[in-house]
Amino acid sequence: MLEGLQLFGQSLLGFMQFKILVYVLLATELGIIVGMLPGLTATMGVALLTTLTFKMPTSEAILVLICMYVGAIYGGSRSAILLNIPGTPANAATAVDGYPLAKQGRAGRAIGIATTGSFIGTFIGMIILALFTPLIGRFALEFKSFEFFWLAIFGIVISGNLTAPKDPLKGWIAGFLGLFIAMIGMESSFAFIRFAKPGSEMSGGIALLPAMVGVFGFAEIITVMKQSAYEVVNTKIERVIPKFVEIWRNKWTIVRSGVVGTFIGAIPGVGEDIAAWVSYDMAKRSSKTPEKFGKGSIEGLIAAEAGNNACVAGAMIPVLTLAIPGSAPAAVLLAAMFIHGVRPGPLIMIEFPSFVYEVVVMVLLASAAMLILGLSMVKWLVKVLAVPREKLMPIIFVLCVVGAFAIQSRTFDIGVMVFFGVVGYFLREMDYPMAPLVLGIILGDILDKNLRRSLILSDGHLAPFFNQPIGLVLFFVTLLVILSKMKWFQNLMLGLKNLITAPFRKNKEV
C-alpha cells in the first residue's frame, strides 16, 4: 500500500512537465470533440491516435490515448444533451434525461451536471483501479492454461450476454466469429499457416487495428449516412458550473454509479454503454422520484454520466492484469501498449510495477483536464456540432484509411478495414454486437495456446478442466450466464424460489 502511494507520487511528479500537460489538455479536448461528433466513437478516436502517437515515447503515447478515451466518453454527452443523438453509444442513457433538460432551456445546467458527474465517476474508477489492480495482478499469477482457457470462454460469453441483452445468441455468435478470425494466419507451435495461402498477405493474420477501425469507424459512417439528416438545435446556454447542493443531493447516486460503472468496465468486453444503462437503471429503481426519469431528471443524468466514465478506469483493470480488454476502446489501448513494448498481463506487477501507477496518474490527469475543459469553452465548442455530416464523414473515412494503413504500411490492411466495415455494418443491422467480435480477435490467441497446452497437460482428458478451483468457478459462472438467458431455466429458478420461500410465507399468513 505504502509502496503503491510512493510509486503513485513518483509517477505524478514525473508527469508534471509543461509539454506533457499541454499534451493532456490537447488530447482531452480532441477527445471531447471526437466524442461529440456522431459517427466518431471513442474506439475510433483512440485507434486513430494510436497511429499518430506511435513514434512518441511509451508513457507519453499511452497518456495521450487515455486522455482521448476519457474525453471522448465524456464528450458524447454534449450531443446527447443538445441534439438527442448520443455522440458515442456510451451516452445513449445520457440523452434520456439530458435532452429533456435542454428542451426545458436548461442545457447549460445539464452540461455542467454531466461534466461533474463524469469527473467524480472517473475519480471513483481511478481509486478502484489503483486499489484492485495490484490485488488482481497477484491473483492472476495463479492462472495456468486451464484457467486461461476458461477465462477466454467466460469473456466471450459474458460479453455476448451483456452487449446483446435482447438476443444473447447473436452476441455469442459474434464472439466466436471473432475467435475464429484470430485463427487465420501462422500458428505458434508448428508455424503452420491456417485458413490462408502460404505467402499471401492473409498468412500474416488479420491485424486488430484495421479490423476495429472497420467495424467501429467505417460501419458507423455508413450507419450515420444512411439516416436522414439531424437538425441542429440552437439552444441558449446559460450557467454551466453546477450548484454544489445539486451534486451533494445526489452523492449516493454518484458513488453507486461510479462503483457499478467501474465493475462493469472490468468485465471483459462489456463497455461504457452497458455501464451507463445499468447505473441509470439502478438509480431509477432506488430513486425517490422515479417518475421524473426520462423527463429531465438530474439524478438520471448524473447516474448515466458517472457510470460511463467510471467504466473507463474499470476497463483498464483487466487490460493491465490479464491483457484482456474491458471495453472496445480499451482493446485498442491494449494493442497500443503491445506496440510500445509494454506487456500487460499477470506479470505486470513484477515486470513493470511503476507502469500500473503511471496509468492511474494518467486517468487522474485526463479527468482533471476533462473537468476544466468541460466547464469552460462550452459555447465555443458547441459550434463543432454545426458541421454538416456530408462534409465530416468523407474526412473521417479518409482518416479510417490512414489509420488502417499507417501502423504496418500494408495496402492489404486497407482492404481488411473495408471488409470489416461492410460486413460489420450488415451484422450490426442484424443486431450482432461488435464488441464480442473484437474481444474474440484478442482472446483467440489466448484460447488457441491455452486449450492446446491444457490438452497436452491432461493428455486429452477433460477432468482437469473441471477439478481446479479457479477454473471450476469460471466454468460455473459461464454456465450460469448462459443458462440465465434460457426460459426453462428462469422458470425452474422461479419455481425453486417459490418452493423454498413457501413455508416462510405460510408462517407469515398464519
Partner 1 sequence: MHRLSLKEDTMKESNMPKADFLMSILLIVFGITVMVTSINMPRFEEMDANPYSVPGVVPGFLGAIIGFMGLVLLIRSLIRKGYKLGITGQTVKNWAKEDSTRRLLLTLGLSLLYALVFIGFLPYAVGTVLFIFAFILVFEYKKGTPLREQKQMIWKAVLTSVISGVSIWVVFRYLFLVNLP
Interacting residues toward partner 1 by CB under 8 A = 38, 51-52, 55, 85-86, 89, 92, 169, 172-173, 176-177, 179-180, 183, 187, 189-190, 192, 194-195, 218, 220-228, 230, 388, 390-391, 393-395, 397-399, 401-402, 405-406, 409, 411, 414-415, 417-418, 421-422, 429-431, 447-448, 451-453, 455-456, 459-460
Question: Which residue from 156, 154, 149 is spatially nearest to 437, judged by alpha carbons?
Answer: 156
Instruction: Rounding to the nearest 10 degrees, give the CA dihedral for residues 43, 46, 48, 52.
Output: -170
- Closest to partner 1 by CB, 119 vs 176, is 176
Min. distance of Cβ 391 from partner 1 in angstroms?
Answer: 6
**Pair 307, 278: CB distance under 8 Å:** yes
Min. distance of Cβ 467 from partner 1 in angstroms?
Answer: 18
**Pair 210, 404: CB distance under 8 Å:** yes
Min. distance of Cβ 441 from partner 1 in angstroms?
Answer: 13
**Pair 306, 67: CB distance under 8 Å:** no
* C-alpha 344: how far from chain center: 17
**Pair 209, 43: CB distance under 8 Å:** no
Min. distance of Cβ 484 from partner 1 in angstroms?
Answer: 16
What is the DSSP code (8-state) at residue 185? Answer: E
C-alpha span between 424 and 428 (Å, rounded): 6
- Closest to partner 1 by CB, 225 vs 375, is 225
Min. distance of Cβ 232 from partner 1 in angstroms?
Answer: 15
- Closest to partner 1 by CB, 149 vs 263, is 149
Min. distance of Cβ 402 from partner 1 in angstroms?
Answer: 6
At 142, is the secondary structure helix, strand, or coil?
coil
What's the sign of the alpha-carbon dihedral 242, 244, 246, 247?
A: positive
- Closest to partner 1 by CB, 108 vs 175, is 175
- Closest to partner 1 by CB, 162 vs 313, is 162
Neighbours of 27 (CB within 10 A): 26
Query: DSSP E strands: which ranges in 196-315?
Result: none
C-alpha span between 463 and 453 (Å, rounded): 15
- Closest to partner 1 by CB, 422 vs 477, is 422
| CA atoms within 13 A of residue 405's CA, in its CB half-sphere | 9
- Closest to partner 1 by CB, 222 vs 317, is 222
Instruction: Rounding to the nearest 10 degrees, give the CA dihedral for residues 287, 292, 295, 297.
Output: -50
Min. distance of Cβ 486 from partner 1 in angstroms?
Answer: 11
Min. distance of Cβ 366 from partner 1 in angstroms?
Answer: 21
Q: Using N-to-C axis directions, what is the helix angle for 92-103 and 107-140, rounded to 10°?
A: 160
- Closest to partner 1 by CB, 347 vs 428, is 428
